[in-house]
Structure 1
């Protein structure tokens, strides 16, 4: 029964009206800019590992017998943790912005 009521609710939402709202478009633009930027940083740094692994700069020994490749690889783990933490913190503000867009839609008579 819960499935039937959620279908009725979904059918009553005017998605075209939400898409036409300036606040929605601004929200989507900010979110996409953030997501594509963080994804680009992540991919570029990961793709650079196999490219730089055979370059002289990462073949040098940094600590004892540990070369720059190992240091760079460890840095990728740290980068992943940092990017995930940044995303989790930023997602809370995205949730608030999405709720504000829905509240505006409902204030304008949307259901």
Structure 2
């Protein structure tokens, strides 16, 4: 026997607004995650297998240090970007809640 909450959930999952939400989240999260992993793992790979980051960037500071500090900036930047993008997701969620509440 299917209870009311389960049938409501199935209806919401099939709704165009919910599908739009999933599509927008995927369109943002997948490329962002790929970028993060590539950027993050580039430092240990480059420092372990090449000497390209050993060159001086600014005085005695090598490119390895610049890259390492850039990872902090990248992390904060992605957090701010996601926080901004989440507002769009929240707007769609509110629309879904309104549409779902009208049928009851």
TM-score in terms of structure 1 length: 0.81
Tell me whether 1:87 sits opposite 2:82 in the alignment: yes
What is aligned with 1:57?
52
Question: Structure 2: 5+ residue runs without aligned partners?
Answer: none
The count of residues paired between Structure 1 and Structure 2 equals 99
User: Superposition pairs for residues 1-111 of structure 1, below 5 Å?
Assistant: 12-13=4-5, 14-54=8-48, 55-107=50-102, 109=103, 111=104
Give 4+ residue runs of structure 1 displaced > 6 Å after superposition.
none
Q: Structure 2-normalised TM-score?
A: 0.86
What SS does structure 1 have at the residue aligned with 2:73? helix
SS at match of 2:31: helix
1:48, CA displacement in angstroms? 0.7
